[in-house]
Structure 1
């Protein structure tokens, strides 16, 4: 634990908004909302129960799990955990219980804030106590929350994000965006995605409102945004296709937006242009960043000249955030002037994974500094900005999920009768789809889905499966992934 004090903990960002706008709405989910003052009071009562109402946290907890969808319980639980000086671990009610329990155990969760009974995880539920007068002091190296990314062995990798990491990030965001208490932020991300924390704490730092976007809103997103005064939109680029298919991307259809932000997967230039035409008053930015670099680490502000900077139809991801350095490395690990694997270092770099054995090859010391090897290939434009070229390994983005296909392979191989499996991510219109090639006993897609939902979140369960007597090999007697990629694309076109 670091002994370096910081002037802005994550919870102090909320308290800045509380001071600015105590009677303003902190969030709205459906028909439910709380003001800043009401949310603060509720969080202090719950924090009192978590700590035994002492700044020394005599209750003995170090990490609190939050198992609830976006809403009053989850937001109060996150803030209360931070007030109590604990590490917050967001869990997802849509995940299989076994996955949530594995994440909770890995992060040391000993108490749970949950909607409804939490008995399925066997973790005691949090209760309220006398309201905590002041939040527990924290230091730069203290972990604010832990999020989990897909793991190559089938076990999710825990990423601890410190108050120091977040202080650097939200200071950058405040300088770049200039949000105000009059803004209304969309929230489209699950709370297990780090971009959800952008929505909450950028809004709360400004004294603004966070408004949940339910699935039915996409049937008429322009109408929804106008009805609720949404000014800041943030989602994965896949949302653009959903709005288009519903007929919502007509020119000028979203005049109230001030900011249009996208992250989580590659943004197509054509999509950005169409969205910008629909929201002409908004500034559009393409943001990029793995969880290990604290929410987003590069940003590109869209201009009429942006398509000319793109590669293969993909928008630039921009320059790295202030105070950070990066390298592009070729296949031999040597610095490359224009194109290579992207490594980044700086104050947003997290301390490493919860399990240090996962650090190998990702958190790498070079020239006396620790870099994060993103595993992404990038190209440097003439103006010094970066363009994303794709994964250097088998990791892909699927509907906003950062997925290591090895995790899917592992889960498929665990099903009865399956001998071997290779998962390929291939483009399918506006999204990436997973296609599984496997050997062993032939199964129906429904059988795969039932089995895989016991270990995988529904969002990354593949929909396409093809049986082989044996997997194809290339001349080096390795699995012929190039051939499988071609076959996967043919499957998605309906040709195989």
Structure 2
């Protein structure tokens, strides 16, 4: 059997290897590896994991910072034919421990950042064998100088080829935030990724000459898009260092980046550094955004700066395998389809069905909660108790409830309206925070804005955080009263230099809401 065929996610790397054996597969700063070098290391590491100690692990964690080692480790985990769990080395140790336990991780590949986490966990009694390339073992089988059981790296154990998998086997597990504060494990099968990437191959013209940006950390599902779209085409994956954002257009031009993918927050960041000038990113062929709502104004400005690229807004929760809709921006026809200044998320992927549920649970043809079923849908969370409220049975099929409110245009295009939990009641009025955000963004001098709710002495009140020119609160309120009902006009305004971003480079609305609540508590004290 040709290993580049079949459902295996890592078959895409093998395709790239066949096309570009001597081309760089991954690069970060001065570190880089060719396809052949990555393949050999992954076979070596995979063989070491399967050789011991003890029984071969069924679930393999990757605990590493953003670097070349992390990408090789993910591929090595896939080459074993087992399940891979990418984790962040800078997460709190207690959170990491919880994810390791929930996923049933039995062995870990770690870099020097991950090792620091594991030493802390070992002190608390967690005992997992660790593959740490570059670290030898002492006579007791521990990593030299560390209280961790080591896995020996012996080239005699190296695999000659990746182990086979079936479509129903789990490729990876990623964790999303849970409403209770406990992360939820989402298993994704090789079959789901196979459907996904076959569709992407038909949608995009990626080729071996492309250089893909890699802005996401490996525990974020959008990183799966970057890795396996690039590797499936024999292209180069370029992991961006933080300093690249100081002059992003200059960096992309210097590095020859042709495919850009990030959250929309990157657009505001480039705007603040005065990088969104006309034709400042002429080398981009594709500009892709996901993870947050994409503002029409941001799409327009980015398109002006990257006029040779096709811009798409792609959408999907982790539970539906990275992204499950797509919308191609057109400066002439797209603006009239926007709602609250937000770009449409497009049409649902081929092979999937969707239904919009009204608040009373009855299907609607126009607006409601987006529910989707199809081959990209996970079978359920690692902890079945997390399934409650997130999946439903409808017309004899199982559907995933996204928790997102969308509107359907007559042409079948979907537009994101906001999270169901982003709707708040203020003085008896049902208020959509996204609508306030949009109204604020058209106020004079405001570049971007986020409205949050907090509980005050007189009930729910709205607090605004905004970037741009600082304006008197009374002036902002005056402008908002021209477009919003009086009860929807916030009373509190906070000018900030920039918005805080969470680990996935999305605007951290939760942190802003906590800051607003803390301000009120400080005044009361």
TM-score band by shorter chain is 0.7 to 0.9
For residues 242-262 of structure 1, the C-alpha deviation after alignment (integer angstroms, 9 at most, x for no partner) is: 000001100100000000000
1:201/1:431 CA distance change after superposition, 3 Å: farther
CA contact (8 A) 2:44 2:159 kept: yes
Alpha-carbon distance between aligned partners in 2 of 1:163 and 1:31, rounded to the nearest angstrom = 33
1:11/1:468 CA distance change after superposition, 3 Å: closer
Aligned-pair CA distance for 1:393: 2.3
* TM-score (normalizing by structure 2): 0.76
In structure 2, what is the equivalent of residue 236 of structure 1?
263
Alpha-carbon distance between aligned partners in 2 of 1:184 and 1:208, rounded to the nearest angstrom = 6
In structure 1, what is the equivalent of residue 65 of structure 2?
69
In structure 2, what is the equivalent of residue 337 of structure 1?
365
Alpha-carbon distance between aligned partners in 1 of 2:423 and 2:256, rounded to the nearest angstrom = 37
- The 5 A counterparts of 1:355-434 are 355-394=383-422, 427=437, 430=448, 432=450
Alpha-carbon distance between aligned partners in 1 of 2:448 and 2:172, rounded to the nearest angstrom = 32
1:179/1:387 CA distance change after superposition, 3 Å: same
CA contact (8 A) 2:217 2:504 kept: no
Q: Given the alignment of the two structures, is residue 11 of structure 1 paired with residue 39 of structure 2, yes or no?
A: no
CA contact (8 A) 1:437 1:468 kept: no
Alpha-carbon distance between aligned partners in 2 of 1:132 and 1:435, rounded to the nearest angstrom = 55
Alpha-carbon distance between aligned partners in 1 of 2:412 and 2:99, rounded to the nearest angstrom = 39
1:271 to 288, 291, 298: 298
Q: Given the alignment of the two structures, is residue 149 of structure 1 paired with residue 145 of structure 2, yes or no?
A: no
Q: Given the alignment of the two structures, is residue 296 of structure 1 paired with residue 323 of structure 2, yes or no?
A: yes
- The 5 A counterparts of 1:99-118 are 99-116=95-112, 117=115, 118=118
Aligned-pair CA distance for 1:70: 2.1
Q: Given the alignment of the two structures, is residue 462 of structure 1 paired with residue 461 of structure 2, yes or no?
A: no
CA contact (8 A) 1:16 1:207 kept: yes
Aligned-pair CA distance for 1:465: 3.9
- Determine helix, strand or coil for the equivalent of 1:66: strand
- Determine helix, strand or coil for the equivalent of 2:260: strand
CA contact (8 A) 1:233 1:261 kept: yes
In structure 1, what is the equivalent of residue 129 of structure 2?
124
Q: Could you say what the CA RMSD is over the residues aligned between the two structures, in angstroms?
A: 2.5
In structure 2, what is the equivalent of residue 318 of structure 1?
346
Alpha-carbon distance between aligned partners in 2 of 1:457 and 1:181, rounded to the nearest angstrom = 30
1:437/1:210 CA distance change after superposition, 3 Å: farther
Aligned-pair CA distance for 1:438: 8.9
Alpha-carbon distance between aligned partners in 2 of 1:355 and 1:368, rounded to the nearest angstrom = 23
Aligned-pair CA distance for 1:124: 2.2
In structure 1, what is the equivalent of residue 377 of structure 2?
349
2:85 to 77, 84, 89: 89
1:458/1:290 CA distance change after superposition, 3 Å: closer
Aligned-pair CA distance for 1:395: 9.6
Aligned-pair CA distance for 1:10: 0.4
- Rg larger in 1 or in 2? 2
CA contact (8 A) 2:7 2:166 kept: no
Alpha-carbon distance between aligned partners in 1 of 2:39 and 2:449, rounded to the nearest angstrom = 39
Aligned-pair CA distance for 1:141: 1.2
The aligned length equals 420
In structure 2, what is the equivalent of residue 475 of structure 1?
none
Aligned-pair CA distance for 1:469: 9.1
CA contact (8 A) 2:216 2:504 kept: no
1:11/1:58 CA distance change after superposition, 3 Å: farther
In structure 2, what is the equivalent of residue 207 of structure 1?
234
For residues 389-439 of structure 1, the C-alpha deviation after alignment (integer angstroms, 9 at most, x for no partner) is: 00112599xxxxxxxxxxxxxxxxxxxxxxxxxxx9985854647676599
Alpha-carbon distance between aligned partners in 1 of 2:76 and 2:120, rounded to the nearest angstrom = 23
1:248/1:189 CA distance change after superposition, 3 Å: same
Which is bigger in relative contact order (C-alpha 8 A, separation at least 6)?
1
Per mean C-alpha deviation after superposition, the further-off stretch among 348-357 and 387-396 is 387-396
CA contact (8 A) 2:80 2:162 kept: yes
CA contact (8 A) 1:363 1:372 kept: yes
CA contact (8 A) 2:186 2:381 kept: yes
Alpha-carbon distance between aligned partners in 1 of 2:423 and 2:60, rounded to the nearest angstrom = 30
Alpha-carbon distance between aligned partners in 2 of 1:256 and 1:60, rounded to the nearest angstrom = 46
Aligned-pair CA distance for 1:351: 0.8
For structure 1, the residue ranges without an aligned partner over 5 or more in a row are 1-5, 397-423, 440-455, 471-490, 492-496
1:467/1:35 CA distance change after superposition, 3 Å: closer
1:433/1:38 CA distance change after superposition, 3 Å: farther
2:208 to 164, 177, 181: 181
